[in-house]
């Protein structure tokens, strides 16, 4: 192992405790990064094996293969059956799970601190020694096919996949993470095994752990297992997408019309990210947000309405979701557009700005009480910033957001020429042409993608 183990000593502000004082990072000889944050007062430890490979790294004929592999690694190893894996983690009251994202895949465990060695052993075993047997592949194929049907039968989930497909078109960011039924049925062991060996190399692996632990002990245990992976490097080649301005509808016999209305946003590590957090919080990021208060509380037009920020290494979006009756669909759309215009044209009230900041800071500080959130934060800092961002820096960044900056960002991103609308439910597609911004968009030349700031 390299001797350049790094440690950050953070100053402590009286108003908060920066747990970054326990941050340490070591790079193994084969390129795997081991990052820990020691929190002595916690009884739990969360540890995750993060691989910087996700659905956007798939070719069209491979869509869903990362998700399939994530499922398959839990189905048995050279020394444990799937039942034995489940039984061992259950016997200590722990959690062992995984998830696939668009830019990474994570295999993680959460246990009481004294059982950390067991968690590392289980994670190492499933990642390094999975059998990927033929019978297990067929059983898990059926499970994933049922998962796809479940999502497609859940309109408030499915609409987001439809929106991504419309917004990103043929770019891998628009692929559904779980793939399609046709593609899932086409994957055999050779395809799965080859993709795993080619796209999960050591230089893309980050092992993160947070809780009551000792860094060198974690490094030693990880080196004894993951350190055995031969050193190799396959460059991550990702094309930058441009969001597509479009309107797409899928008619379905439902009780509600579900829609996503989105526009271009910022990449994960953009210098204006704190401004975008504040803007999103004001727009639809909580129960006191403008959309929730106006559409649900004041008018009773929707049960669920919110905004969110899908962000990636090189691009991002701002998306509003709502589910409403067919008769009130256009009214809800108009109310969303009205809030876009207000953010662009009306100065924020100081109280509203400060409330949004306090909400963001409170959410962040509360999340630090959970070892799994701390572990996730370590991983995302490394993936997107290549370093650790102290909590104090985040709080300061939020505090420094000014109302003029929020308004300038709103004017930049809430441009009708960039709007993408996806609708699912009992809605006539021809009626969508009557939405007021659609005609404007068709009559204006589309600007070049990207924003100058």
Q: What is the DSSP letter of 295?
A: I
Q: What's the rounded Cα separation, in Å, for the pair 432 and 364?
A: 39
Residue 70 appears among annotated catalytic residues: yes
Provide the b/e sequence for 199-234 (b: ≥16 CB within 10 Å): bbbbbbbbbbbbbbbebeebbebbbebbbebeeeee
Q: Please, what is the angle between helix 403-413 and helix 350-367, to 10°? A: 90
Distances, alpha carbon 17 to alpha carbons 20, 141, 215, 399, in Å: 9, 46, 20, 17
CB atoms within 10 A of CB 347: 11
CB 65 within 8 A of CB 191: yes
Q: Among residues 38, 58, 70, 88, which one is catalytic?
A: 70
DSSP H stretches of helix in 109-205 = 116-128, 134-152, 155-168, 181-186, 189-199
Tokens 């069209």 appear where? 60
C-alpha closest to that of 425 among 250, 222, 246, 299: 250
- Residues known to be catalytic: 70
């Amino acid at each position: 192992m390299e001797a350049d183990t790094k440690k950050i000593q953070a100053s402590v502000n009286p108003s908060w405790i920066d747990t970054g004082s326990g941050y340490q990072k070591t790079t193994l000889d084969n390129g795997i990064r081991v990052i820990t944050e020691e929190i002595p007062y916690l009884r739990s430890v969360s540890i995750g094996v993060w691989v910087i490979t996700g659905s956007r790294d798939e070719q069209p004929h491979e869509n869903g293969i990362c998700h399939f592999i994530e499922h398959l690694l839990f189905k048995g190893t050279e020394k444990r059956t799937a039942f034995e894996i489940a039984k061992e983690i259950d016997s200590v009251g722990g959690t062992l799970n995984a998830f696939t994202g668009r830019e990474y895949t994570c295999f993680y465990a959460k246990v009481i601190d004294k059982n950390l060695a067991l968690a590392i052993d289980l994670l190492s075993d499933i990642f390094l020694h999975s059998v990927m047997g033929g019978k297990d592949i067929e059983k898990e194929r059926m499970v994933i096919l049922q998962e796809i049907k479940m999502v497609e039968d859940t309109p408030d989930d499915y609409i987001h996949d439809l929106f991504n497909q419309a917004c990103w078109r043929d770019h891998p960011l628009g692929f559904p993470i779980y793939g399609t039924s046709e593609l899932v049925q086409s994957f055999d062991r050779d395809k799965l095994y080859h993709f795993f060996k080619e796209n999960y190399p050591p230089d893309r692996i980050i092992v993160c752990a947070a809780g009551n632990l000792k860094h060198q002990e974690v490094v030693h245990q990880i080196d004894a297992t993951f350190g055995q992976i031969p050193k190799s490097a396959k460059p991550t080649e990702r094309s930058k997408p441009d969001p597509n301005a479009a309107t797409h509808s899928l008619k379905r016999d439902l009780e509600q019309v579900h829609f996503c209305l989105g526009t271009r946003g910022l990449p994960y590590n953009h210098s204006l990210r704190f401004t975008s957090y504040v803007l999103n919080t004001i727009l639809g990021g909580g129960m006191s947000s403008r959309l929730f208060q106006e559409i649900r509380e004041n008018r009773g037009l929707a049960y669920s309405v919110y905004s969110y920020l899908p962000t990636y290494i090189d691009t991002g979006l701002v998306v509003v979701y709502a589910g409403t009756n067919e008769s009130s669909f256009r009214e809800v759309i108009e109310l969303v557009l009205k809030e876009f215009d207000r953010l662009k044209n009306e100065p924020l009230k100081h109280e509203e700005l400060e409330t949004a900041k306090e909400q963001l800071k409170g959410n962040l500080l509360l999340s630090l009480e959970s070892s799994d959130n701390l572990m996730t934060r370590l991983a995302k800092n490394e993936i997107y910033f290549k370093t650790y961002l102290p909590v104090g820096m985040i709080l300061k960044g939020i505090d420094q957001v000014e109302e003029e900056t929020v308004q300038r960002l709103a004017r930049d991103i809430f441009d009708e020429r960039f709007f993408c609308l996806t609708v699912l439910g009992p809605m006539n597609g021809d009626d969508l042409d009557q939405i007021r911004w659609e005609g404007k968009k068709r009559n204006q030349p589309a600007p070049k993608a990207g924003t100058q700031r």
